[in-house]
Amino acid sequence: MLDWLPHIAIHIPPTQALFGQLLIGLINGAFYAMLSLGLAVIFGMLNIINFAHGAQYMMGAFCAWLALNYLGIGYWPALIVAPLVVAAVSVVLERLFLRHVYRLDHLYGLLLTFGLALIIEGVLRNYYGSSGMPYTIPDQLTGARNLGFMFLPNYRAWVIVASLAVCFGTWFLIERTRLGSYLRAATENPTLVQAFGINVPRMVMLTYAFGAALAALAGVMAAPIYQVSPLMGSDIIVVVFAVVVIGGMGSILGAIVSGFVLGVVEGLTKVFYPEASNTVIFVVMAIVLLVKPAGLFGRTA
Amino acid sequence: MTSAENAAPAALRAREAGLSARWRLALVAFFLVLAVAAPYVAYPVVVMQALCFALFACAFNLLVGYVGLLSFGHAAYFGSASYITAYALKAWGFEPVTAILAGTAVAALLGLVFGWLSIRRQGIYFAMVTLALAQMIFFVAEEARFTGGEDGIQGVPRGYLFGALDLSHSLLLYYFVLAVFLIGYAIIYRTIHSPFGQVLKAIRENEPRAISLGYKTERYKLLAFILSATLAGLAGSTKVLVFQLASLTDVTWQMSGDVVLMTLLGGLGTEFGPVVGAFILVTMENRLATYGSWVTVIEGAIFVFCVLVFRRGVVGEILALARRFAAPKRAPTPVPARPAPGP
């Protein structure tokens, strides 16, 4: 009659598992935050939802992997090199393709970048297959430390700290510097800003490159945690879209906060109701759409 | 921001054939003969596959082409209907038409819920919301027990139509699939040319104005969404009879992308464009099947090409040519600002 009791006992997880999943959630959240941040920055400036964002994240991880295996370039240089390479590729993409659709409806930007993502992913899948390839953690960050209530792997601690720093740096750059004020002004009224003698098309191009570099940096940081595979980008981009819908793209801080929070929510779901862990972010999105259609931090519907 | 989000893509306004009634009749007759004769000149399975995708693309086009809402998650309705139909045929031994109706009904229900959620946002947000909701269905299909996970539901029996006609006979199956396609197409055609369809176009052109004219645009959008999802489900259900299979492929975002590509290539917002696009892509995929992921690369390239220089699509370009041919004196009018008054 009371046979439901043991079930409840099972569902109260040991603290180890709880904190372990919380940590994984924070890690995922770090990547969601960096990616949705890049999406928001690009959208603000280019009025384009960059579907290729996942592909750029994947290219970052791939660059690191290729550099390690073919050129012997390790993790630390890759943190700089891979974003630069991806940014360079993205500049070419912007000049060749993207700039032709700025004046069209937003949807064409989405479709164009979707096509670009398919091309990038398809080419890499042809040469490297779709199975994941391991990328070793750099020597300095192997091992873990005992926090008393859990073991914290050093690399994961580094990812959380580094991504927080990157997110904060981006926020500072956009909200608190002169360059950022140009950016924000050009978002509001590009014609007027151009009349002040600021090269807006170049700024647009560099913004796209910056957003792509951010995605690539996230990719390099993700490489030792997830396996490097051509599919890793499309796996994460849809979730990041949901994060963006939840947070609203109006605010930089909103993108960062909702990224981390949703990562943690996902991690906690894995502890208490693992079957729903893949879908929980989408359910949260549906609820947010019902309660606050503009998104939690959104300014316009 | 809001005004930009409301604006429908320019090419979407390239609309309504300037073709005369006689031409239309001739074209319809031509395609009907072609459709009836097709199984004798091509592989019936390929044609049936193309017909299912053509119906799927037409359903998708109803939303993007006539309401201006780009759904990036139509695989959810296509795929869930195909799972339900497959399960009904295999596990419950349903008669084919009943099984198809069951799948279609589930797609309609899903369309009601998802449409109700997603029409709260417009433009790219709408696209992202529909994509995310569809991804949820993907994960549900991956986890749920009745869908068979990675394997899908295989070896689905085709059954006996109305309990009497054996659908494993490939010609019979072909004409059944053709009939389903024609019914679906007729429903879409009637919708587009009804007063309801006119209101949809008004919403696409200028939603605030439609609201100020007293139309409850939310209701119109939701109805169009449900209709589109339902017909996408009809296509997915019918596909099960052709391939005897329902699998995760049907609910992936790649499937949603494929239907967008078919419609874009054929011509967004043209009546017949999605059919043309579906036939081109299905033929291409069958021809290039041995090239693996290069198909993805080619699809991506077609996307880029269409967006940059071919926004009207095949049918849209043909119509534009026909218009210019019909009125050689006038300076070439690139894209009419609003649809021509009714036929």
**CATH code reported for the domain at B2-326:** 1.10.3470
Domain count, chain A: 1
pLDDT computed for residue B17 by the predictor: 47
What's phi and psi for B153, nearest 5 deg? Answer: -105, 110
Best residue of B297, B306, B335 to probe chain A, by most A CBs closer than 10 Å? B297
pLDDT computed for residue A129 by the predictor: 85
Please provide the distance, in angstroms rounded to a whole number, between the alpha carbons at the two ends of chain A: 51
Residues A163-199 have pLDDT tens digits of 999 999 999 998 899 989 998 898 888 889 999 999 9
Per-residue pLDDT at A221 exceeds 90: yes
* Residue A139, in any domain of the structure: no
Could you report the predicted ipTM of this complex, rounded to two decimals?
A: 0.87
Q: What is the CATH number of the domain that holds A122?
A: 1.10.3470
Instruction: Compute the nearest-CA separation of A266 from chain B (Å).
Output: 14
Residue B220's identity, in one-letter code, is Y
Beta carbons of B307 and A122 less than 8 Å apart: no
Residue B330's identity, in one-letter code, is R
Residues 6+ apart with CB under 8 A from A78: A63, A64, A67, A68, A220
pLDDT computed for residue B196 by the predictor: 94
Residue B246, beta-bridge partner list: B153
Q: In chain A, which among 76-115 make CB contacts under 8 A with chain B?
A: 97, 100-101, 104-112, 114-115
* Residue A3, in any domain of the structure: no
Domain ranges in chain B are: 2-326
Instruction: Compute the nearest-CA separation of B239 from chain A (Å).
Output: 25
Domain extent at residue A115: 15-129+149-291
Q: Band the pLDDT of A75: cuts 50, 70, 90.
A: very high
pLDDT computed for residue A294 by the predictor: 82
Please report residues of B whose CB lies closer than 8 A to that of A100.
Answer: 308
Average pLDDT, chain A: 88
Please report residues of B whose CB lies closer than 8 A to that of A242.
Answer: 128, 132, 135
Best residue of B2, B67, B125 to probe chain A, by most A CBs closer than 10 Å? B125
Beta carbons of B124 and A49 less than 8 Å apart: yes
* Residue A135, in any domain of the structure: no
Place of tokens 């390690």: A68
The nearest alpha carbon in chain A to B12 belongs to A105
The nearest alpha carbon in chain B to A99 belongs to B308
Per-residue pLDDT at A67 exceeds 50: yes
What are B343's two structure tokens? Answer: 């036929």
Measure the CA–CA gap between A263 and A222, rounded to whole angstroms: 14
Instruction: Compute the nearest-CA separation of A83 from chain B (Å).
Output: 23
**Concatenated DSSP letters for B314-327?**
HHHHHHHHHHHHH-
What are A16's two structure tokens? Answer: 């180890």
- In chain A, the percentage of residues whose pLDDT exceeds 90 is 53
Please report residues of B whose CB lies closer than 8 A to that of A106.
Answer: 4-5, 123-124
Inter-chain contacts counted by CB atoms under 8 A, chains A and B: 141
CB A53 within 8 A of CB A237: yes
pTM: 0.88
Per-residue pLDDT at A289 exceeds 50: yes
Mean pLDDT lowest among A5-14, A36-45, A141-150 = A5-14
What's phi and psi for B145, nearest 5 deg? Answer: -80, -40
pLDDT computed for residue B146 by the predictor: 85
Beta carbons of A282 and B135 less than 8 Å apart: yes
Residue A301 contacts B, CB cutoff 8 Å: yes
Place of tokens 């949703």: A262
Residue B160, beta-bridge partner list: B166
The nearest alpha carbon in chain B to A277 belongs to B139
Q: Among A157, A175, A158, which Cα is nearest to A253's?
A: A175
Residue B343 contacts A, CB cutoff 8 Å: no
The nearest alpha carbon in chain A to B113 belongs to A286
Residue B227 contacts A, CB cutoff 8 Å: no
Beta strands in chain B (DSSP E): 160-161, 165-166
Instruction: Compute the nearest-CA separation of A62 from chain B (Å).
Output: 18
Beta carbons of A112 and B308 less than 8 Å apart: yes
CB A65 within 8 A of CB A58: no
* Residue A5, in any domain of the structure: no
Residue B182: HSE in the Cβ half-sphere, 13 Å Cα cutoff:
11
pLDDT computed for residue B185 by the predictor: 95
User: B275-306 burial, b for 16+ CB within 10 Å, e for fewer?
Assistant: bbbbbbbbeebeeeeeeebebbbbbbebbbeb
Residue A153: which H helix or E strand, with range? strand A151-153
CA gyration radius for chain A?
A: 20
DSSP, collapsed to helix, strand or coil, labels residue B165 as strand
pLDDT computed for residue B221 by the predictor: 95
Extract the residue ranges of chain B whose pLDDT is less than 70: 1-19, 327-343
**Concatenated DSSP letters for B247-262?**
-GGGGSHHHHHHHHHH
Instruction: Give start and end residues of each alpha helix (H) in chain A.
Output: 5-11, 15-46, 53-66, 75-96, 106-128, 154-176, 178-188, 190-195, 200-222, 232-247, 252-272, 280-291
Residues A78-123 have pLDDT tens digits of 999 999 999 999 999 999 999 999 888 888 999 999 999 999 999 9
Residue B320 contacts A, CB cutoff 8 Å: no
Residues A238-263 have pLDDT tens digits of 999 999 889 887 778 888 999 999 99
Place of tokens 């290039």: B288
Q: Among A200, A225, A264, which Cα is nearest to A33's?
A: A264
